[in-house]
């Protein structure tokens, strides 16, 4: 998880600009977090698919979760976002597997003792026997942690604060000037 620090003085400045009370501030903060989470997840899904050279975004979609935040009695709390960066199945990546003398190769990575086969969906992939018998067999996985984490920190999350404060300002403005969110 990557923790985010949000500048509370900037939140107070925006609240003072629109003369927002504490309830409006909390509601706007919560809504801004949810909308920022969705924007960051969408951006991360699109960009990681390209960066990791995946066939589709389904594999990434399962691995991105939105913000979790704890709110204390007097503060707005702490914010976190979770990215699942475990190894991914070989069939999720673009490319073609090939046989080698010692096993198989995919995207420049060798898998000694493995073989080229097809998964249940009919896609070509690299498989390995789980034991000494013919069955069961397992699909091989490729590491993505280092490449994905570096890319997320450097490219995806670099404008988190900019997106958050833009959404937060719009929320506070809508709630104070137009009365949105009042029952």
- In the chain, domain spans: 2-86+144-177, 90-142
pTM, full prediction: 0.76
In sequence order, the 6+-apart residues with CB closer than 8 A to the CB of 38 are 66
Per-residue model confidence as pLDDT tens digits over 18-66 = 999 888 988 888 888 888 888 888 888 889 999 999 988 888 888 877 6
- Check whether the bond before 129 is cis (ω within 30° of 0): no
Per-residue model confidence as pLDDT tens digits over 82-123 = 788 889 999 999 989 999 999 999 988 999 999 999 888 888
Comparing 123 with 2, the larger pLDDT belongs to 123
CA torsion sign for 20, 21, 23, 29 is: positive
Helix (H, G, I), strand (E, B) or coil at 96: coil
Q: What are phi and psi of 78, to 5 degrees?
A: -120, 150
104 closest CA partner among 139, 152, 52: 139
């Amino acid at each position: 998880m990557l923790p985010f620090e949000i500048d509370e003085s900037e939140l107070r400045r925006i609240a003072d600009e629109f003369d927002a009370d504490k309830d409006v501030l909390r509601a706007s903060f919560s809504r801004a977090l949810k909308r920022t989470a969705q924007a960051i997840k969408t951006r991360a899904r699109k960009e990681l698919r390209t960066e990791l050279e995946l066939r589709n975004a389904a594999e990434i979609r399962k691995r991105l979760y939105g913000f979790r935040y704890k709110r204390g009695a007097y503060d707005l709390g702490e914010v976190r976002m979770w990215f699942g960066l475990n190894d991914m199945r070989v069939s999720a990546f673009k490319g073609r597997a090939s046989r080698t003398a010692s096993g198989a190769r995919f995207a420049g990575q060798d898998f000694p003792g493995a073989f080229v086969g097809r998964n249940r969906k009919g896609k070509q992939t690299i498989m390995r026997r789980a034991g000494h018998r013919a069955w069961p067999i397992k699909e091989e996985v490729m590491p993505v942690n280092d490449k994905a984490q570096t890319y997320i920190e450097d490219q995806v999350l670099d404008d988190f604060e900019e997106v958050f404060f833009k959404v937060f300002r719009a929320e506070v403005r809508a709630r104070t000037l137009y009365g949105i969110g009042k029952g």
